Amino acid sequence: MANPFVGYDNIIPLIAPQDTTTADTVSPYMALKNAQKASFLVIFGAITSTTVTDEIVITVEAATAEDGTEAAIDFRYRKSGALGANTWGAVTTVAAATGLGMGADDSDNMIVWVEVDPDELAANDYAVARLLLTVSPTSQMEACLVSVLGIIEARYKQTTHISATASASA
């Protein structure tokens, strides 16, 4: 991705940095009307828990309209290496039913690039997409600092972006 000074890709702050330990967190929708590709950048800070089985599960949901019924969809991801390292893991596909678990044992201070398959979005007429972060098991995490950015690769490159804020007319 080349993005000279945020000139072409539309970057949308979806979840401000927060401690997500006891309740699920749902991002706002991203409108996909003018998107060629849609991705999420999930940024984790410290994750601590009393047990190594506690985790935050990342799921991508899409719908034909903002007020429609969401469906979990498959996605691909890459995890960053250790803090300060410029290394990324292999591209891995995640089934909608399972999501991607990020636990205290191996996910501290990582970035996860989540990419949605544009063919699946088009095939199902999905107009909006969002990210769901589920605490599993509920209320077990001691700390889970996380934030989410939405990234849309616009169909038509431009320096003044068309809004990617979802609305009922998306």
Q: Does residue 162 form part of some domain?
A: no
The domain that holds 54 is classified in CATH as 2.60.120
- pTM, to two decimals: 0.83
Confirm whether 163 is domain-assigned.
Answer: no
Residue 140 lies in a domain: yes
- Give Cβ neighbours of residue 11 (< 8 Å, ≥ 6 apart): 3, 149, 150, 151
Which pLDDT score is estimated for 157? 65
Q: Which domain holds residue 98?
A: 9-154
Domain count, the chain: 1
Q: Does residue 159 sit within a domain?
A: no
Tens of pLDDT along 123-156? 999 999 999 988 876 656 677 788 899 998 877 6
Q: Does residue 80 lie within any of the structural domains?
A: yes
Cβ contact 151:9 at 8 Å: yes
